[in-house]
Structure formats: C-alpha cells, structure tokens
Structure 1
C-alpha cells in the first residue's frame, strides 16, 4: 500500500531535520571541546593553572581568582591567542590587595657655600616648615631649598633621632652631604686638615644616639703648597730634608729613593700636595739631590721652578763646575739652576757681623746685633711688635755702617719665620740665615723652608734646625674612647660583675667594680656605648634572653644612680647566643654569664670622588705617570753612567 505523497514528504522532512540536528549537535560539541582544550593548554603554558575554562557553545568562559589585575589581563590575552576575543567571557575575580608596605623614607641634605638643599621622601606627618627653619638657622646668609616629597604613612621608628643627628652634624660641617634614614645616617664631608678631620670624627661619633648606625667619610684634601718647595742638605752627620713636596705617591717615592742613595739618615716626611710647577718635578728633584751628593756637602733648594745649589766652602772648583754643568744639561727645560761656590773668608771683622732674635718658651722676644740705619731699626722693631706682641719685644740692636743691601730683607724674613715657632733663635749673617727652635706643628719646618726660599731669592743660603714636639693635651681634654673601654675591661678582669642567682639584682661584692667603672665613665664624657648582657645555655632560650636584657638594663640603672650621663648608652641582652667558652663545663658557663661594655664605632663609608679628581682628564693622568717614569729612568741612567 502506497503512502500518500504528502505523508511521504513529511516523513522525509522529519528525518532530514533530525539528521541535521544530530550533525549540528555533534559539530557544536566538537567545537566546544577543541576550544576548551586549546585555551586550557595556552593558560597552562603561561603558568595560569589557577584559571578554569568552560566552553558554552561558541563562548569560552574563564573563571577563577587571579592574584592581581596584571595576571588576570595576562590570562585573557593568552585565551585570546587561541580563540576569537569576542568569544572569551571574563568571569574571573582578583584577589584582594594586601596592605602596601610603607616606602623607604630618607632625606639627603647637601650644604656648601651656595646654600642648603634637601631632597628625599619623608612622612606626611613631619613638620617640614619646622625642619626648614632649623636648617635656615645654620646659616641665615644662604637659601634653603625644599625638594622633598611626602607619603601618608606613619613615621618609622628612629626617624626623629636620625633627622636631629643629621641637623646637628650639618651644623659642624660647612661642606657636607648627609643621607639620613631611620636605619643609617651617612656623612660625607671635607675637612680643612687632617687634625680637623680627626677632631670631627671624634665629635660626631660621641654625639650620635646609641641606637643609631652612622657612617663617616670625612676627607682632608691635599694642601696647596705655595711655593712648591724641596730642600735637601748634606752635612757631616749625613743627609736630611728641611722640606719635601711631591705631587703624588710615585713622585714622592722617586724623590725619597734619590735621597736615600745620597745618604738620607733619620726620620723624614714628604708632603703630597697641589701646586707642582711641572709634571717633571720628581725628575728635577732627583737629579739635583744626586748632584749635591756628588759634590759632597752643601744644600739644594727647589722653590717652584728655581733651583739653588750651594756647595760647602772649600769644595774642589773643578768638581763643582763639572757637576753643575752636567746638572744644567740634564734638568727639564722649565727649571732654572743657580749654583754658588762660597769663597773662603779672609777679611777679619771687628766683632761678629750678625743680627739675632730670641723667642723664649714664655713668648718673650729679644732683638740684638747690627742694623744698617735708624730707619731699619724702627721698621724691624715695629714689625716684631706686630708679629709677637708689643709688650713682649725688647730691642737692643745697634746701628752700624757697611752692612749688605739685602740685610733688612733677610732680617724681616727671619723674623717672620721665627713667629711660626713656639720658641727659637734667629741668626742673620752676611752669608747665611739660621733658624733653630721648636714647634708644635710638624709641617712648620717645610713651611719655613718655603718662606725663606721665596723671600731670600736665588743663591741665598739658610740653615734650619727645627724640632717637632706634640702640643700638650689641654687639661679639659676628654680621654680617647678606646682607652676608656680598655680601663673598664681592666676593672672587670680584676673583679667580675656578678648578679644574684636567677636575678637581675647586682651582687654586693660587685658594687666596688661598678663604682670604679662609673668613675671612668664620668671622666670619659659622652661616648657611644652598648651595655651587653650574656648568659649561659642552661634553661629555656626565651628566659635567658629576658634575663640578659634585665641584667644589662640593671647595670645601666646602676650607672645612672651613680650620676653617670647615660644618654649615649644603650642596654641590650643577647641571651645565650654569643658564648665565649664551652657551656658543657661549669667554668665555661661561668665565663659566659657576663656583662660587656662595647664601644659603638661608625661604619666605614666609601669616600666619594672629589671635584679635583673628577676634573682630572685621562691625558693629565697619563702625563703625570710618564713624568714619574722619566724621573726614575733618569736616576737609573745616571747611576749606570757612573758605574
């Protein structure tokens, strides 16, 4: 039986629709699986395992919790690289942001002749106007530039102490850079001399709060030497320097080597400074010293580019002429040589032709001897009263005829040199100016040599016998902190500080030791010191830590009770963490139970490059090195020729 046409058509249409639906369903499922697999693989390769992928038809839904917004965006980008971005549905969450860590607060203060500037990041709660006023009070004649930024976070512990110390240090340093933070205050500064450098380091170390770390980099620049002077003498006792200057260490070594070959004896010093007239200074100095050694006895003086070589009377004229001729030909072009061979004295004078000035240790000055005329006597008397004081000068010089024309110049130069000594004698004769005496400044001898070589001119001989003695310590000077700690250690070695068992109470037999330590600390003044408490390893670690802290604090309280200023002291307990003996024996445990007094020293800070070093060009450095090589080669060549 045949079905009607319309029914057959309906059945075929229904079957076709069913097949289409089945094929579409299969295709959709296949697309979903392929998309989900591709996106999941891309996320896994980029480390986004936290993301979940679910395909919903043509849509790809991403879920999960990203650690931050950047990671969420990276996951979206990875999914978009596999399927069309319009198909990616973002349903991801972002983890709540934790509290941001506070920034590192610091302030950098720069002070020079142009003014004071402050730059850095400070807490918003800091009264910056008050800080600017404090800095302005350091020098009201310059401007203070505020270049600081603020952040709204609480002030970190130690911030106020660091800023207070930085301002205090800046008040002592007219040229400095100070970087202040709660953890460390670094000070970079320039002192005018080595003595000032040492005094500043000691003062700043004592002034720092005990809990603040400090770093000091104070440099003393090389002095400017004017005139640049070197003076070497050879006498019956050997060779010696009256003055020695060099532009750097290598030039100094070349000069000293030449002097040692020429018979240098005894201690010596050679100042490294600025102002050298020629890079070949070491060459000229070494050749001049060697020439003097060949002559035998006499002196050679280099004052800038002028060289004066004075032989001893009685030197063989032929030898003198040969050595001087060789030296003139060997010297660098910029240097001029003036050589003198004194003639033996034949004419007898009626009494010594000389002028003398004596300065006693008490400061009294007496002027005796001969002067050319009344005007000279009045002029020299007035100069002496201006230099030494009008109430300490006694003039007993007489006027005579026939003195050299340069007599007044030689006397005035000698008096100026004598004013630099604490006590001494000046003797002026027609042939020589002699200075002898004592000074508390070890550079005085070199300074006097430079003065006389400049004032007297070429070919003029002078003799120096100046000794150095350290200045007596002022009566109110504080002892060195190292000595103070050493004395405290000595007291403890004689009788150890002990406590009642398991207690922070100081035992009765330790009272005398504490009294002696208190006496020492009162003499030492404000030093930065940490009182450390230590225990053995018996008992719980937390208990030992607490006991050591209590004992250190107890010692601090005992010192306060004895009227010791303790504002620069701190008490710290270390428990059992720093043993000095074996805790396995009773003797070792007894040694570990102790109180130590530890001096807090500044931390080393690498000095920054100075302006002069920064301005030196590579060509200048190369020229200096070449000059030093030439100096050593010339000395070696001369030695080889003699052999």
Structure 2
C-alpha cells in the first residue's frame, strides 16, 4: 500500500518537530548547567559562601540569607557577570541587623520634707501624666520635680511591676530614697519607731509582687529603754531571754555569745536602744550570764545597775557561795549584786499561802479573784482592770483578808498591768512572786512586761513569765495577702451570685447581702489593688452592653465604698461582651457570661497568673 503525498508530508513535519523539541531540551539543560556552574564559580572566587544557585530553563535563581544588604548586592553583581540581569532572579533574604543594646532604664525617687524628685531614664511610651499624678498623690501636696528623661525603646520585662511596687512603698514612707530597675526595687527610708519600722517592712514586703526583687533598708531611731533591762531564765524548759537590751551592735553580739555559752539555742535578739547605765553594760551582762551557767540555771535580772541572780531551788550552798563571790569580783564597780538561794519548799506553808488570780479569756473577759487587804484595795484593782480592759468585760470576785505579805497590793496592780499586754492569759500573785502566762501578737511583749515589772516593783525578783508569741494574734503578720483575699471572695461566690435587676445596674436584695460579706473580707485586707470588672452576654447592641457592664462594675464599687471599705486602689471597668467564657448560643452560656469579676491589678505581663474570683450576674 502506498502512502499519499499529504500523509508523508505530515509525518516528515511531525518527525522534524520531535527532533527539534528534543534538541531544544538538550540545549536548555546545557544552558542550565553552564549558567549554574558559571555563577557558582564566580561566587566562589568572590568568597561568597552563603549564597546558593539554582537554574531553571533560562532563569537563574540566587538563594540564601545575606549577612547584610551590601553582601546581597555584591552577590547579585558577581552573578550578573555570568548571566544577563534579565535572567537573574533575586531570591535572597537579608539577616536582621544586630539591634543596639537596650538602654538601662532606672528611676530614683527622693522624698523629703521639701517635696519629691524623680530622676532617671524611662521608656518613651511611659504615660508621663499618669506617672506624675501618681507622684503628686504620694507627695501629698508637696511639690514634685520631674527630671526624667526618655528613650525610644520598649519597656523591659519587669519594669512596670517594679514601678508600681516602688510607688506603693513610697506612699507609706514620709522620707525615702527608692531606686527602681526592671524587676528590682531598693527602698531606703526612715520610720519613727522600731515598731513602725517592723510594720512598714511587713506591709511593703506583703504588697510587693513575687516577680520583683525587694531590698528594704528602713531605719528607726533607737528607742530609749527605761529601765535598761536584761532577764535570762534557765530551767527545765531550757534557756531563754524574757528581755534583752544592748547599747551597741558589738555589745549585743557579746551578750548573745555569752547567752549561747549558757545554753541559749535558736534565734534570739537584743533590742538596741538608748539608756544603758554605762559603756560596760555588755561586760556586766556577759559576766552575769557566765555566773548563771556555772550555777546550773536560775534567773538573772539586770535593771540598770541592779543585778539580781536567783539560784535554782536546791542548789548546793558551796557552789552558790563560790559563784556569787566570783560574779561580785567580775562585775564593774557601778553594779550592785543581789543573789538569792531559795529555801526548800514547805508543803503545809505553800498550801496555806494566799494566791491572787486574774484571767483574760480569748473573748476578752477578765475575772479577778483572790485575797486583797481592804475594800479600798479591791476598788482600786477593779478600777485599774476596767480602765485597761473595758468596764463591761471585768468581773471582780476578790475577797478581803488580813495579814497579807508586804507589797501584796503593789504586786497585784503591777500584775494586772502586765496581763493587759497579752491577748489572753492568766496572772498568779503569791508570796513568792508574780507569774504571768499567756499569748500575744507583739514580739516585744515579754521585754515590755519585764521592764514594766522592774519599774513598778523596783526589780523583777520572783517574776516568772511564760509568754508565747502567736503570729495569728499579730494584726500585721496575720493580715491576709492580696491573693488570700481574692481566694476568700471566690469562696463566697462559689454558691452565691451578685445579681442585678433585669437590664439595669441596680443590685437586688440578695446581692446586697452578699456585698456585706465581701466587704467584711476586704476590710481585713486593707488597701490592695483590685479591679471590679463587669461582663455581659452578646444579646443587644455592643455599645449598650459595654455601658451596662461599666455601670454594673461601678455599682459594685459604690456598694463597697458605702460599707466603708478602703477603695482608693480599686477601679471599676466594663468589658461588655468582649470576653465571653462560655457559648452565647445557649441560655446557660449567656448566664455564665453575665458576671462580675474581682481581680488583682497586675502588671502587663501577669495576665496569665492573676488570681480572679468570678461571679455570675443577672440578665445582661
């Protein structure tokens, strides 16, 4: 069979097309290899090792990350020597340039009687108006000098919480120098007394966030201690100070060293104060403590220059005489020693001995019972107790008896005043002395009672103190932390709700009763930074929901303020429907989204750690 001329012609053209395509493909691959090899060679000669080359057809891609814009341009120029610029595709990234070192932001706040000064460098984004307003509030009307400079750089982590903590501390201190860095605050200030110093340190430390390192250096003038008293007891219960005073740091160290040698263990301290009878106080105290140790125990009381050493009952007379003689020789000339060796007990005499008892219950009730010498003596004791504890809580059942020991009335009155220094306890007055037992929330109570007894009785012979410090009774130490306050509010809101009349910001009756309980919690918390946030569901217009949430939050704040809660650091804020916590497509979800939240105001980076107490509200 013969092919027609037209078919043969088509076949020839088809074959030629296939051969042309194959030749073109081969040519393209040759061009790709040559272009890629040429560009790689020129880049290698130029020492450009970060760049990669990839050819596709007539296009040549330059890839990689250049260390700088200049390096990128250099690579493109080198590749342009081998291939036409129209064929060169720039796919090069440029590494981010090294950022300059951030500035060291810091502020120093100086507060004196003449006003308040701010010095330092802060981020340019700082709200200077708000910062100055906070400073003016802390200054209390005194002039504020703003010498701050700014730098265009983001605030470092920990900057805002440090700034907030510094101003919180500043508002508590009438004179202070406060240094602020990111995450660190150093507070130097002055307090009017040692007790005020301890209160300030506890309050500032409690209000400072954990993320902020705090250095406190608050000084207080040394108190005048009169009489200058030291009392040390060593008995079957161990060795302890009932009171300890020292004139200098070196003297305190010497006294504590001697006490440790006499058997004192654990932490102990001596109050530094003015009023020591002379520069040899620590020398005399050290000698007396050594004598008590050699005696095997007993009670040592030093009141100014009077040194009273009471040996344990049953001490060997020879040892007693030897120790007393050694101590008399060791004491400086100005000190007078009065040593006592108690006589053995007589069971019949002890049983017949008079005993006056006063008790102070945890609820504050006071009972007086036991013998007094006259109706006048009973009236005086009753009047003193009513003056110290309150007329309505005192019950006097004292009996009249003749032949009481000399100084009985003085001991009773001094004992009642000592009992008033305790939160709860009991007083026992016997012919042998005075015994006070109880608990207190004042770390200095034992020393104060000892000094009181020394002043009222002319010494502390026969005084026995068993006073225990309880942190729960300390109004400062027992104050809940802000986190504990929020947890307490959460507990109140677990089963009860802050509810409003439908569509309004008016609390209903049940919510007002709940606000009474919340206010009681917050009154114990003192001043804490608290946000009261209002939220709604998504029904209605967004603008109306925002207004309603703001009004409800403000209503809660007003209710707390009306209940005499300290709200200076509180703020009310509405979020409308912007922060749902449940599905607005269901009634249960909408009910959950209608709520009031109590949150601690935290710095910007504490969003994930702040403690919140949520409460469901009424219709949004």
Q: TM-score range by the shorter chain?
A: 0.5 to 0.7
Tell me how far 1:325 sits from its aligned partner.
2.7
1:68-118: CA deviation from partner (whole Å, max 9, x where unpaired)? xxxxxxxxxxxxxxxxxxxxxxxxxxxxxxxxxxx9997644335x34232
Show CA shifts across 1:396-424 (max 9, x none): 11222233442222112211211122221
1:77 maps to none
The aligned counterpart of 1:144 is: 142
User: Helix, strand or coil for the counterpart of 1:362?
Assistant: coil
SS at match of 1:568: coil
From 172, 194, 197, the equivalent of 2:198 is 194
1:471 Cα deviation after fit: 0.5
| Number of corresponding residues | 398
Deviations, residues 6-65 of structure 1 (Å, cap 9, x unaligned): xxxxxxxxxxxxxxxxxxxxxxxxxxxxxxxxxxxxxxxxxxxxxxxxxxxxxxxxxxxx
Answer 1 or 2: higher relative contact order, Cα 8 Å, separation at least 6: 1
Pairing of 1:215-226 with structure 2 (within 5 A): 216-219=215-218, 221=220, 224=223, 226=225
Provide the rounded CA distance (Å) in 1 between the counterparts of 2:167 and 2:271.
34
Give the 3-state SS of the residue equivalent to 1:172 in structure 2.
coil
Alignment of 1:414-493 (within 5 A): 414-458=415-459, 460-471=461-472, 477-479=481-483
Q: Report if aligned partners of 2:136, 2:143 keep a CA contact under 8 Å in 1.
A: no
How far 1:371 sits from its partner (Å)? 1.5
1:374 Cα deviation (Å)? 1.9
Farther-moved stretch of structure 1 (278-287 vs 378-387): 278-287
Q: Deviations over 1:284-331 (max 9, x none)?
A: 222112222333443111223321112345545554344323212211
The residue that corresponds to 2:115 in the other structure is: 116
Q: Secondary structure at the match of 1:391?
A: helix
> Where does structure 2 lack aligned partners over 5 or more consecutive residues?
1-102, 488-524, 531-577, 583-592, 612-620
* Alpha carbons 2:229, 2:450 under 8 Å: kept: yes
Distance in 1, matches of 2:460 and 2:478, equals 43
Cα–Cα, structure 1 residues 316 and 186, in superposed 2: closer, same or farther, change >3 Å? Answer: closer
1:121 to 1:344, Cα distance in 2 relative to 1, 3 A? closer
The 5 A counterparts of 1:116-515 are 116-118=115-117, 120=119, 138=138, 144-148=142-146, 167-179=167-179, 186-190=186-190, 192-205=196-209, 216-219=215-218, 221=220, 224=223, 226=225, 227-247=227-247, 251-262=251-262, 264=263, 267=266, 269-275=268-274, 276-343=276-343, 348=349, 351-458=352-459, 460-471=461-472, 477-479=481-483
TM-aligned CA deviation for residue 570 of structure 1: 3.7
Is the Cα contact below 8 Å between 1:248 and 1:272 reproduced in 2? no
Provide the secondary structure at the position in 2 that maps to 1:242. strand
Following TM superposition, by how much is the alpha carbon of 1:268 offset from its aligned partner in structure 2, in angstroms? 5.2
Q: Provide, for residues 346-382 of structure 1, a one-character-per-residue CA deviation record: whole Å limited to 9, x for no partner.
A: 7948943221101112221110111222222111111
Is the alpha carbon distance of 1:567 and 1:380 closer, same or farther for their aligned partners in structure 2, counting shifts above 3 Å?
closer
Matches of 1:125 and 1:267, distance apart in 2: 51
Q: In 1, are the aligned partners of 2:105 and 2:121 still within 8 Å (CA)? A: yes
Q: Which moved more, 1:360-369 or 1:275-284?
A: 275-284
Given that residues 353 and 431 in structure 2 are in contact (C-alpha distance below 8 angstroms), is that contact kept between their aligned partners in structure 1? no
Aligned-partner Cα distance in 1 for 2:297–2:104 = 68
1:205 is paired with a residue whose SS is coil
Q: Is the 8 A contact 1:307 1:458 kept in 2?
A: no
**Preserved CA contact (<8 Å) 1:370 1:397:** yes
Partner of 1:13: none
Asked if the contact 1:109–1:179 (Cα under 8 Å) also holds between the matched residues in 2, the reply is yes
SS in 2 for 1:434: strand
Q: d(CA) in 1 for partners of 2:109 and 2:143? A: 10
2:88 alignment counterpart: none
SS in 1 for 2:455: helix
Secondary structure of the structure 1 residue equivalent to 2:231: strand
Aligned to 1:568: 602
- Output the CA distance in 1 between the equivalents of 2:311 and 2:246: 24
- Separation in 2 of the partners of 1:459 and 1:187? 41
CA–CA distance in structure 2, aligned partners of residues 200 and 335 of structure 1: 43
Check whether the contact 2:205–2:214 (CA below 8 A) recurs between aligned residues: no
| 8 Å contact kept, 1:421–1:437 | yes
TM-aligned CA deviation for residue 190 of structure 1: 4.1
Q: Tell me, yes or no, if the aligned pair for 2:231 and 2:241 is still in contact at 8 Å.
A: yes
Distance 2:126 2:282 in 1: 57
> CA offsets, 1:503-543, max 9 Å, x none?
xxxxxxxxxxxxxxxxxxxx9x979xxxxxxxxxxxxxxxx
**Contact 1:367–1:395 (CA under 8 A) maintained in structure 2:** yes
Cα 1:267–1:558 shift into 2, 3 Å: farther
**How far does the alpha carbon of each residue in 1:102-151 deviate from its partner, in whole angstroms, 9 at most, with x for none?**
x9997644335x342326479999999998886565566xx724555588
Cα distance per residue 1:461-489 (max 9 Å; x no partner)? 211122233307869644479x9xxxxxx
Instruction: Name the CA shift for 1:229/1:479 in 2 (closer, same or farther; >3 Å).
Output: farther
Relative to structure 1, the CA distance from residue 350 to residue 399 in structure 2 (aligned partners, 3 Å threshold; closer, same or farther) is farther
Aligned-partner Cα distance in 1 for 2:368–2:173: 43
Distance 1:216 1:466, change over 3 A: closer
Maintained 8 Å contact 1:201/1:218: no
Provide the C-alpha distance between the structure 1 equivalents of 2:164 and 2:393, rounded to a whole number of angstroms.
Answer: 48
Instruction: Give the whole-Å Cα distance in 2 for the aligned partners of 1:129 and 1:567.
Output: 20
User: Conserved in 2, the CA contact under 8 Å of 1:222 and 1:273?
Assistant: no
Structure 1 residue runs without a partner (length 5+): 1-102, 484-522, 528-555, 573-594, 600-643
Alpha-carbon distance, 1:197 to partner: 0.9
User: 1:148 and 1:440 mapped to 2: Cα distance?
Assistant: 42
Mapped to 2, the partners of 1:266 and 1:150 lie a distance apart of 51
Q: 1:216 to 1:205 in 2, by over 3 A?
A: farther
